[in-house]
Chains A and B, each alone.
Chain A
Amino acid sequence: MRRLLLALPLGWLLLLVLAPVLILLWIALATVGDSVPPFDPPLAWQGGAPVWQGSGESLLILIEDDFYLRALLRSVTVALVSASLALLLAYPMALGIAETRPRWRPALLLLVMLPIWTGLLPRLGAWIGLLRDGGWVNHWLLELGLAQQPARLLYTDMALYAGMVHSYLPFAVLPLAVALMRRDRLVEAAAADLGAAPGRVFLTVTLPLSVPAAAASFLLVFIPAAGEFVVPELLGPPDDPLLGRVIWSEFFQNRDWPLAAALSLALLAVLLVPIRLFQRLGAAR
């Protein structure tokens, strides 16, 4: 019975993690060809024996051409900044929700979730309406005399981060709010009894105890943000080479599936680092 229960997550992992990675590796080692799908597999059967016809060239390009390394670096930077900003905003929100009376909490959590129920595109479309040259923000900047001519807001890093943080904020708030609601308040009461001021209680007790939840929040934003390509496409600087966008264009525009697969593997490898750190953090406790 126990074995059966274990087989379930293991099978899940094999089917949805290991198998796709192996398929990616298979395509990354293939060569581009005129066929449907547009690559020649690395191994072919000729006269009953397998013949190697693959190439590591797609993987080598990652190292050769600094265009792709820069794209990876830029994606990781954007994801780091987005996740940090989301965490900074999410923490006070989560703490606020945890501190309200229990009967208000479901309503507040619902308010946090509500934006995800609207599609991503309408939400980004709203940002475009707000930030474009003749948009609301510029209208009021001009009206209030804060600017002489429309400021360039859309297609900048600022617009990119606004869209990223807005899209992913709920994922950062939820785990934090749950953890803060469930925290053991007796520890805080004890600290207060021993004479710690409220600020000190927060910094020395509440905050350290919430680090694992904060790390989970951070990762829940960081990982999808690193591969994001819709938000930068719609709000970010034009032709900003983020890896998600580059993979998209190699796959759909250039029909270079081997290179797209190699780039996806590189992104996956980079994302394993913070996940490992998170596991270490969990193990240390």
Chain B
Amino acid sequence: MPHRRAIALWLAMLLLGASPLRAQPVLNVYNWADYIDPHVVQRFQQETGIRIRYDVYDSLETLEGKLSSGRSGYDLIVPTSEPSFARLVRAGALRPLDRTRIPNWSNLDPALMERVAAVDPGNRHGAIYLWGTVGLGIRTDALRALWPDAPRDSLDLLLRPGNAARLARCGLAVMDSATDVLPSVLRWAGRDPDSAAPADLRAAEQALLAVRPHLRAIPGSGTLLDMLARGEICVALTYSGDVIQAAARAREAGRGVEIAYVAPSAGAHLWFDLLAIPADAPSPDAAHAFIDYLLRPEVMAAITGHVRYPNAVPATRPLVPEAVRDDPSVYPSEASLRHAFVPGTLTPAEERARSRLWNRFKAGR
């Protein structure tokens, strides 16, 4: 019975943790949805022989939910500087990076890395992958027909009840993330974006509830990208690159849907996504190799060209396609960067107050 013996042997190997499938090293990557150039992943696998198991999330809440019980099994994650990356650093959930194994670290823009050093002193735990802002995705062709001279460069378009009522039939949406929506709403209401004071939160809640009846959906950011690209949504509050990707997809579909991104001129929420390794990552060596690979200018340029988010490797500038490089909604102007704010850190009690507000907003009461 050679068959039975082979099966028994295989089972024994499986039990001993030496399954035949394990011969090839595996890197478990957990990244945002639609956030990499697939060719980049393929090329790494060919170059190194390391197999990448690629898994995606579409909100920071999902990422932190997976990580919070420990032993997630991921080797490389891409949390946003505030609040997730900062919280993971404080909780000791990230492995300090060994820069001797990341020679391409020197390609990173020191000025941008300095902005992250506030939450990660000495940049010990993360390298900037991509960054961007939170703002409005607008279906310009529909808006031109419905309301040609609508104010576009402010959240007024979405958050003033009169405007929302006027645009409701065209489709309004806000992405489902308390952490990435409330700072912008607080700023719009003239409050401190980091505030958790009851009066400020009440103001934000009232502003959101006032337009709640006019919202078509409160989807995850990945779903919202799809809805925008299909032309189901006229005005959406979401991540800059998601809107720019939706615009590209709508252009490719060629059905007359035009999408544009506008960051609020009064001050946009600026965020950085960091490449980081969980403290209990099963194969940190492969993760270091992957980080080093991603920081190569030609690799990073391909990613920015594909996903249309700016990166932190200045040497990529000449390599990025012109259409992306010169698009002010991809690379914000100096002036709008000066007005932009990076949200600060909240205490657990403040987080809870905000998530309860978000629950009530989603339920519409």
Residues of A at the B interface (CB closer than 8 Å) are: 31-38, 61, 65, 67, 238-241, 246, 249-257, 259
Whether A253 pairs with B61 at a CB distance below 8 angstroms is yes
Contact with A along B193-223 (1 / 0, CB 8 A): 0000000000000000000000001100000
**Contacting residues, chain B, for A253 (C-beta < 8 A):** 59, 61-62, 65, 355
- The chain A residue sitting closest to B72, CB to CB, is A36
Whether B65 pairs with A36 at a CB distance below 8 angstroms is no
Complex Cα distance A234/B189, Å?
Answer: 34
**Contacting residues, chain B, for A257 (C-beta < 8 A):** 68
Complex Cα distance A118/B362, Å?
Answer: 32
Nearest CB of chain A from residue B184's CB, rounded to whole Å: 19
Complex Cα distance A255/B363, Å?
Answer: 19
Nearest CB of chain A from residue B41's CB, rounded to whole Å: 27
Complex Cα distance A74/B363, Å?
Answer: 12
Identify B363's interface contact among A34, A241, A250, A252, CB under 8 A: A241
In order of increasing CB-CB distance, the 8 nearest A-B pairs are: A252-B65, A32-B348, A254-B355, A253-B61, A241-B363, A36-B70, A38-B68, A239-B362
Is B181 an interface residue when CB atoms closer than 8 A count as contact? no
Complex Cα distance A256/B356, Å?
Answer: 10
Contact with A along B229-262 (1 / 0, CB 8 A): 0000000000000000000000000000000000
- The chain A residue sitting closest to B356, CB to CB, is A65
- The chain A residue sitting closest to B61, CB to CB, is A253
Residues of B at the A interface (CB closer than 8 Å) are: 59, 61-62, 64-65, 67-70, 87, 90-93, 178, 217-218, 348-349, 351-352, 355-356, 359-360, 362-365
**Contacting residues, chain B, for A254 (C-beta < 8 A):** 61, 178, 351-352, 355
Whether B68 pairs with A34 at a CB distance below 8 angstroms is no
- Could you list 7 examples of A-B contacts with CB < 8 Å? A35-B92, A37-B68, A67-B363, A251-B65, A253-B61, A254-B61, A254-B178
**Would A36 and B93 be within 8 Å (CB), given that A67-B360, A239-B364, A253-B355 are in contact?**
yes
Most chain B C-beta atoms within 10 Å of own C-beta, residue among A31, A249, A253: A253
Whether A34 pairs with B90 at a CB distance below 8 angstroms is yes
Whether B70 pairs with A241 at a CB distance below 8 angstroms is no
**Would A259 and B67 be within 8 Å (CB), given that A34-B87, A239-B363, A253-B61 are in contact?**
no
Whether A34 pairs with B355 at a CB distance below 8 angstroms is no
Most chain B C-beta atoms within 10 Å of own C-beta, residue among A31, A33, A238: A238
Whether A67 pairs with B348 at a CB distance below 8 angstroms is no
Identify A31's interface contact among B61, B348, B360, B365, CB under 8 A: B348
Complex Cα distance A208/B178, Å?
Answer: 53
**Contacting residues, chain A, for B87 (C-beta < 8 A):** 34
Complex Cα distance A187/B178, Å?
Answer: 64
**Contacting residues, chain A, for B91 (C-beta < 8 A):** 34-36, 38
**Contacting residues, chain B, for A249 (C-beta < 8 A):** 359
Nearest CB of chain A from residue B313's CB, rounded to whole Å: 30
Complex Cα distance A255/B69, Å?
Answer: 10
Complex Cα distance A14/B65, Å?
Answer: 29
Identify B352's interface contact among A35, A241, A246, A259, CB under 8 A: A259
Nearest CB of chain B from residue A22's CB, rounded to whole Å: 19
Identify A37's interface contact among B70, B92, B348, CB under 8 A: B70
Whether B62 pairs with A32 at a CB distance below 8 angstroms is no
- The chain B residue sitting closest to A71, CB to CB, is B363
**Contacting residues, chain B, for A33 (C-beta < 8 A):** 348
**Would A34 and B65 be within 8 Å (CB), given that A65-B356, A67-B359, A239-B362 are in contact?**
no
- The chain A residue sitting closest to B212, CB to CB, is A239
**Would A252 and B352 be within 8 Å (CB), given that A36-B70, A37-B68 are in contact?**
no
Nearest CB of chain A from residue B89's CB, rounded to whole Å: 9
Complex Cα distance A249/B362, Å?
Answer: 12
- The chain A residue sitting closest to B345, CB to CB, is A34
Whether A67 pairs with B61 at a CB distance below 8 angstroms is no
**Contacting residues, chain B, for A67 (C-beta < 8 A):** 356, 359-360, 363, 365
Complex Cα distance A241/B218, Å?
Answer: 14
Identify A32's interface contact among B65, B67, B349, CB under 8 A: B349
Whether B359 pairs with A246 at a CB distance below 8 angstroms is yes
Whether B359 pairs with A255 at a CB distance below 8 angstroms is no
Complex Cα distance A61/B349, Å?
Answer: 12
- The chain A residue sitting closest to B363, CB to CB, is A241
Complex Cα distance A239/B212, Å?
Answer: 12
Whether A36 pairs with B69 at a CB distance below 8 angstroms is yes
- The chain A residue sitting closest to B177, CB to CB, is A253
